[in-house]
A = this chain, B = another copy of it.
Amino acid sequence: MRHDHLITSKQLSRGDIETVLDYAAELDADPSTVADRHAGTLLGLLFFEPSTRTKMSFETAMKRLGGDVVDMGSIESSSVKKGETLADTVRVIEGYTDALVLRHPKQGAATMASEFVDVPLVNAGDGAGHHPTQTMLDLYTIRENAGLDDLTIGIMGDLKYGRTVHSLAYALTNFDTRQHFISPESLQLPREVVYDLHQRQDGTGIREHDSLEEVLPSLDVLYVTRIQRERFPDENEYQKVAGEYQIDADTLEAASDELTVMHPLPRVDEIAPEIDETDYAAYFQQAHNGVPVRMALLDLLLSDDKRIGGDDDE
């Protein structure tokens, strides 16, 4: 990659994305080829917010490459409690490790931090900002199940606050896709995101809906996200809205047999457990794909012979 850091999926071209996905597929098929590739390499994990799957899959990915991690631990047990700035924390820890992964509650934290360090830094989520490795594993899962061209995808749930959704929507504009956004009015995509998407893609590719019903039969992929209770001042209002955006076997009777259902997890009750064992369900596979995709990304960032856009002429 031409990038020393990975901060946003916006920075990745279609060519970059395809190189990562192709390489991830290679590693997924045979991880043994890289089992010792980064022996002696240490990845620093800086998670300023709770995370299970993102953190564990980065750790797994690094170890499957032969390397190891050094984890800052929870902020309760760290110097952050003593009032240290993020700029100081990352400058100290970069001296211990060969690359950094950062999750932080503040939007823009990864960009700011990356300006202070010389080792590669990967953004693992910065508040309402970006989460590019999640986007890459989403793309990988979509490609595995439905292909990335001539794709009709529905993205449903909390579209206002979900960074996962925004990143994915931006990345999909690199491909020949029709994106349908399904949400209650109060949780629609921010207007500036809609504007950007229209700029990046022929406007006919982007549609907004307040119900799944009209669009479900045409979908190749349905990407469901969690509607957070705490967004609603009134419990009744939440119950009403959330109930309309839940998926069960009845809902899917109107869907194509080929439909792929995805979810970034954790879910609460957006998808009924009865879907788990059906061929629709790709959300556990999606979580598992975090490992080969992050292996590919880490290897590309850590290797001198960078495989994406390494040619200066490009």
Q: Give A residues with C-beta under 8 Å from B.
A: 35, 40, 42, 44, 47, 50-53, 55-57, 59-60, 63-64, 68, 70, 72-74, 76-84, 87-89, 91-93, 95-97, 226, 265-268, 273, 284-285, 287-288, 290-291
| Shortest beta-carbon distance from A100 to chain B in Å | 12
For this complex, 12 residue pairs linking A to B, each with C-beta atoms less than 8 Å apart, are A50-B78, A52-B73, A52-B89, A55-B73, A56-B70, A60-B70, A63-B68, A74-B74, A84-B265, A84-B268, A87-B273, A92-B287
Given contacts A70-B56, A72-B56, contact A47 B77 (CB under 8 A): yes
Contacts of A88 in B (CB 8 A): 265-267
Q: Are B265 and A56 in contact (CB under 8 A)?
A: no
Task: Tell whether, in the assembled complex, residue B68 and residue A42 are in contact, meaning their CB atoms are under 8 Å apart.
Answer: no
Docked CA distance A96–B290 (Å): 9
Q: Known contacts A51-B77, A52-B78, A74-B73; is A97 also within 8 Å of B266 by CB? A: no
Tell me, in angstroms, the Cα distance from A70 to B287 when the chains sit together.
15
Query: A97, A266, A290: which has the most chain B beta carbons within 10 Å?
Result: A266
Closest Cβ of chain B to A244, distance in Å, is 19
A84 and B288 contacting across the interface, CB-CB below 8 Å:
no
Chain B residue nearest in CB terms to A267 = B88
- Establish whether residues A284 and B92, one from each chain, have CB atoms under 8 Å apart when the complex forms: yes
Q: Quick one: which of A53, A83, A95 has the most chain B CB within 10 A?
A: A95
Q: How far is the CB of A236 from chain B (nearest CB, A)?
A: 19
Which 4 residue pairs spanning A and B have beta carbons closest together? A95-B288, A84-B266, A52-B79, A60-B96
Contacts of A74 in B (CB 8 A): 73-74, 76-77
User: Least Cβ distance of A200 to chain B in Å?
Assistant: 31
**Chain B residues within an 8 Å CB radius of A89:** 52, 266
Partner of A50, one of B40, B57, B77: B77
Report yes or no: A83 in contact with B53, Cβ–Cβ below 8 A: no
Inter-chain contact A96/B56, CB cutoff 8 Å: yes
Q: What residue of chain B has the Cβ atom nearest to residue A81's Cβ? A: B50
* A55 cross-chain contacts in B, Cβ below 8 A: 73
Tell me, in angstroms, the Cα distance from A44 to B81 when the chains sit together.
24
Point out the residues of chain B lying under 8 angstroms from A91, CB to CB: 284
Q: Which residue of B lies closest to A55 (CB)?
A: B73
Report B-chain residues with C-beta under 8 Å of the C-beta of A60.
42, 70, 96-97
Contact between A53 and B92, CB atoms less than 8 A apart? yes
